[in-house]
Amino acid sequence: MLVEILVKKVTTGKPKPADDRLGFGINFTDHMFVMDYNTEAGWHNPRIEPYGPLSLDPSTMVFHYGQAIFEGIKAYRRVDGRIGIFRPRDYIARMNRSADRLCIPPVDETLVLKALKELIRLEQDWVPRSKETSLYIRPFIIATDPFLGVRPSFTYKFMIILSPVGAYYPEGFNAVKIMVTDQYVRAVRGGLGHVKTPGNYAASLKAAEEAKKQKYTQVLWLDGVELKYIEEVGTMNIFFVIDGEVVTPPLEGSILGGMTRDSVLTVTREWGLRVSERRLSIDEVVAAADAGRLQEIFGTGTAAVISPVNELKYKDKIIVPGDGQVGPLSHKLYDYITGLQYGTQPDKYGWVEYID
């Protein structure tokens, strides 16, 4: 079915920040995509309109009960000058899986992809040009019934906003220090851990603040039942290289199935490495480090792509992989995957969707 997307443009756009001052998630483009849902019409009135505040009743359900989901996607200005979105169909499909868990009606994936391309085409001057900059794409859905009481909403708003973002590693590819918490948990199997929903982030804040006080950038979560098995880093999935085996925890419902995780698994298997999605206890990691067999640790996520970890703190133990420098696999994966994104590597997996 062909659905028209109405476009209402701004008369004058905002000034664009310089590429070296972009930061992350601070600046937003001139337009946004919006679509509404109600039970009679389903998803309807898809439109692109000037970026601006929403007016919502204070009783709007999302404020009180957190029925909401989101995605995080990136578009890149490629070396040939074209703009490519990385794996958008896969991210949109994941959004519908999140929708299902939160009792939110699914969106038409073809329409959303079309809307996303149209929005980026309109905003193409906002896609930054400097090395390692990109356009961050944030689709999200919120429950909009003005109602106090716990049930799925009858009305929703779907939106896409765009934010030009700076280089994640302006001072070069560098490593982070992470604290393993044995005090808080983020998710349990059967809960919302595998879903991109704001509540997971609300659950993570306190542990993250406490880690920051000790100069750790993020928290590594253990499983919510035994506090024994490695889960993820909250905004990133986590990989370990032990004796040449690339290990990441399996998707059993309590961690998010990251797209970057999937890209890394696909690529490392293609490279012929020994790759396992298996349970990995923190004790196994400690033992491997003690025996000198822990070669690398890195996180994966859309924002940083690959985030090498040069220190894990667990209880009073400090775990350092390899020689404490960024490991060779982390480097190779970062170079290769960003190469696919910026077009210095051929798109052999068909992961890039062009806007023109």
CA atoms within 13 A of residue 186's CA, in its CB half-sphere: 34
Stretch that binds ligand PLP, among 97-105, 131-139, 252-260, 347-355 (CB under 6 A): 252-260
* Spacing of C-alpha 240 from chain mean position: 20
- Nearest-CA neighbor of 294 among 334, 247, 335? 247
> Given the rule CB under 6 A, which of 26-34, 55-63, 122-130, 300-308 is the region that contacts ligand PLP?
300-308
**Which of 46, 166, 234, 249 lies at the binding interface for ligand PLP (CB under 6 A)?**
234
Task: Give the range of 46-54, 125-133, 162-170, 296-304 binding ligand PLP by CB under 6 A.
Answer: 296-304
Q: Where are the beta strands (DSSP E) in 39-155?
A: 42-50, 68-70, 73-77, 83-86, 134-143
Rounded Cα distance, 305 and 333, in Å? 9
**Binding region for ligand PLP (CB under 6 A) out of 30-38, 41-49, 259-267, 338-346:** 259-267
Between residues 173 and 221, which has the closer beta carbon with respect to ligand PLP?
221
Residue of the chain from 105, 128, 224, 301 that contacts ligand PLP (CB under 6 A): 301
Cβ nearer to ligand PLP, comparing 264 with 288: 264
DSSP 356: -
Sole residue written with tokens 């290769």? 336
Closest CB to ligand PLP belongs to which residue?
258
69 binds ligand PLP (CB under 6 A): no
Q: Are strands 218-220 and 176-180 parallel, antiparallel or unpaired?
A: parallel
Q: Is 302 in the site for ligand PLP (CB under 6 A)?
A: yes
Measured from the CB of residue 248, what is the shortest distance to ligand PLP in angstroms?
Answer: 11
The minimum distance between CB 256 and ligand PLP, in angstroms, equals: 4
Q: Which is nearer to ligand PLP, 143 or 203 (CB)?
A: 203
Strands (E), the chain: 6-7, 31-38, 42-50, 68-70, 73-77, 83-86, 134-143, 156-165, 176-180, 218-220, 237-242, 245-248, 274-277, 294-301, 305-314, 317-319, 352-354
Among 102, 122, 208, 236, binds ligand PLP (CB under 6 A): 236
Residues 204-233 that bind ligand PLP (CB under 6 A): 232
**Count of residues in contact with ligand PLP, rule CB under 6 A:** 16
Site membership for ligand PLP, residue 196 (CB under 6 A): yes
Residue 233 contacts by C-beta under 8 Å, 6 or more apart in sequence?
A: 178, 218, 219, 220, 221, 299
- Angle of CA points 310, 226, 99, to nearest 5°: 80
Task: Output the smallest distance, CB 316 to ligand PLP, in A.
Answer: 27
Measured CA to CA, the distance from residue 308 to residue 298 in angstroms comes to 4
Q: Which stretch binds ligand PLP (CB under 6 A): 97-105, 130-138, 212-220, 235-243?
A: 235-243
Of residues 200 and 248, the one with the C-beta less far from ligand PLP: 200
CA 205 – CA 216 distance, rounded (Å) = 13
Angle between helices 328-342 and 259-270 (to 10 degrees): 110
Of the pair 47, 138, the CB lying nearest ligand PLP is at 138
Burial of 228 (0-12, 13-18, 19+ CB in 10 A): middle
Stretch that binds ligand PLP, among 76-84, 251-259, 280-288, 331-339 (CB under 6 A): 251-259
Q: Of 144 and 235, which has the nearer Cβ to ligand PLP? A: 235
Candidates 113-121, 157-165, 254-262, 345-353: pick the segment binding ligand PLP (CB under 6 A). Answer: 254-262
- Based on the shown chain and the rule CB under 6 A, indicate whether residue 200 belongs to the binding site for ligand PLP: yes
Q: Does 248 bind ligand PLP (CB under 6 A)?
A: no
Residue of 60, 260, 310, 330 that binds ligand PLP (CB under 6 A): 260
Strand pairing category for 68-70 and 305-314: unpaired
Instruction: Say which DSSP state 20 is in.
Output: G
Give the separation between CA 333 and CA 246, rounded to whole angstroms: 12
How far is the C-alpha of 334 from the C-alpha of 308, rounded, in Å? 10
Q: By CB under 6 A, name the binding residues for ligand PLP.
A: 72, 196, 200, 232, 234-237, 256, 258-261, 300-302
